[in-house]
């Protein structure tokens, strides 16, 4: 048997669900109060909050670090496309794109790129910058 509080929570949840379904075609005008009521009532039924919900906003705010490099500049100087560099280095075009944007990569990947560009390993600092 459900208590009066549980019945009220279920009723609020059903109303919030109906309001959400009615506004599904227009996602830009969702009602924040119905969403928060839905969340509150579902938390009330379960009796505990999800630990992942509490820290999710701080995790989204953290962006991956990007390091400046000269891979794109060197590739263009050699008159080579991303696809050609990827083929010669036996890497994906997506990997080349991410590295040119400054995302990190493994040392083996850097070696493959240097060799595909026809450079020596001594040119690593000129292309990828200083390592920590």
Question: pLDDT tens across 64-113, in order?
Answer: 777 788 999 999 999 999 999 999 999 999 999 999 998 989 999 999 99
CA 4, chain centre distance (Å): 43
Structure tokens at 85: 């560099």
Q: Where are the domains of the chain?
A: 1-23+32-47, 71-128
Contact partners, residue 65, CB within 8 Å, separation at least 6: 104
* DSSP letter (8 states) at residue 48: S
Task: Fold for 71-128, please state it.
Answer: 434 Repressor (Amino-terminal Domain) (1.10.260)
Instruction: State if pTM tops 0.85.
Output: no
């Amino acid at each position: 048997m459900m208590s009066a509080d549980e019945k009220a929570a279920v009723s609020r949840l059903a109303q919030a669900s109906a309001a959400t379904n009615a506004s599904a075609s227009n996602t830009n005008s969702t009602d924040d109060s119905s969403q928060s009521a839905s969340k509150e009532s579902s938390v009330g039924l379960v009796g505990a909050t999800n630990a992942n919900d509490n820290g999710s906003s701080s995790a989204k705010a953290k962006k991956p670090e990007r390091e400046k490099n000269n891979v794109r500049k060197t590739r263009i100087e050699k008159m080579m496309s991303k696809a050609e560099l990827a083929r010669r280095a036996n890497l994906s075009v997506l990997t080349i794109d991410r590295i040119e944007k400054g995302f990190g990569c493994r040392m083996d990947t850097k070696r493959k790129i240097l060799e595909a560009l026809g450079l020596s390993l001594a040119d690593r600092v000129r292309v990828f910058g200083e390592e920590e």
